[in-house]
Every structure is written in structure tokens, then in C-alpha cells.
Structure 1
Amino acid sequence: MCVVRCIEGTARLGMVFRHPGSAADAGTATPGFLLTAMEWYGRQVEQLDAVHSGKVTLTGAGAETPAKRDVLKSAPIHRAGPGATPPRIAALPGGPAG
């Protein structure tokens, strides 16, 4: 579990996130952090809107590696259309990732 802030867009269950600049951005690897659970003020939720913080569970290869202040960007498969801004989340200090 990691404490994050949604800094852009809306993060939803089932989205895939990665570190910008990773091999996945270059098309040489598959993105690997699947968003499997979200908690907001003690309640399980299905989405986290921009500027809100919550606890999330990421699964997949390297999902335990985000450090505080790392910014994770959603994989291109989640973009709404041409020019749409992909959701981004940032790990916050104080959680297991901090």
C-alpha cells in the first residue's frame, strides 16, 4: 500500500501506471503497476480525483519501488482521446513508500 496524491486527471481501479521515462515509455516493455485498490478517508473507492490523496495498492513487477515524490503516469491505453491528459499520481511521504 502506498499513500498518493492524484495530481492530474482521475485515477481509477484497473488503471496501469508507470514511471515516466521508463522502458515502457520507449515501447520496449509493458507497463507494470496495476491499481488494484483505493482507500479515501477510510472508505474503499473506485476512483480518486485530482488534488485528492488516498492509499492505493499497486501490483505487478516493481510495484513496491515507488519512492516518496515519485510521479507515476497512466499507461496510454487509459487516455480519453487525442490531446487528453493522462492521469498522474505522486507518492507522498509518510506512507509505506515513504
Structure 2
Amino acid sequence: MTSTTPEIEALAADIGEQIAIDVAKWNLFLAEAHLHIPLAERVYPLLEKDELGRAGVEAALKDLSVAIGGGKVNISLLDALSSTMVNRLLTLLEEYQSKNF
């Protein structure tokens, strides 16, 4: 199966609404940070190939860079997310996969 833009956009919408970076006890949702679509594009192939797992998701998160302070500092999205959010993302992806594949 080849991913299509609507499928990635649907996944991105779910990610963007439910997954947030914790910034000084304030939630910056990935949709607001414009990181939901790049993340969906990276994890969708894992769903298509039935290769969803913590290692693959963490690799995708590590691959995405988050600019802080106007680009003075860059950290991986994996480092920007709490463990709770990483677990929530895994659950979200598992549920998405079970409904759509």
C-alpha cells in the first residue's frame, strides 16, 4: 500500500491534537509547533510495513529537530517529549494502525 496525502494528513491531525511538548509546564501541541505533519510522514511507513515499535518511533522522533531560541539551539523531538507523551504517541499509532490497516 502506498501512503496518500489524505491518510498522512489524518494521522497528522491526530498526532497534532494529542501529542505535546512540555515547555515549562505548558503544553505546546505538535500542531501548534508545526511538527505534526513531518512526524506523521516519518512514522506512516512504519504503519504501512507493519513495523511499528518503540525503536522505530523513537528513531523517527530523534530524526526530527526542534529549533529553540530562534534557532540558537536544536534538540531532537525525542528529547523534547516527555516519556508520557512518547507512550501516548505509541498508543495513538497502535490504535490508528488497528483501525486503518
TM-score by length of 2: 0.30
TM-score by length of 1: 0.31
Q: Identify the structure with bigger relative contact order (alpha carbons < 8 Å, sequence gap 6+).
A: 1
Q: Which structure features the higher share of helix residues?
A: 2
Larger radius of gyration: 2
Q: Which structure features the higher share of strand residues?
A: 1
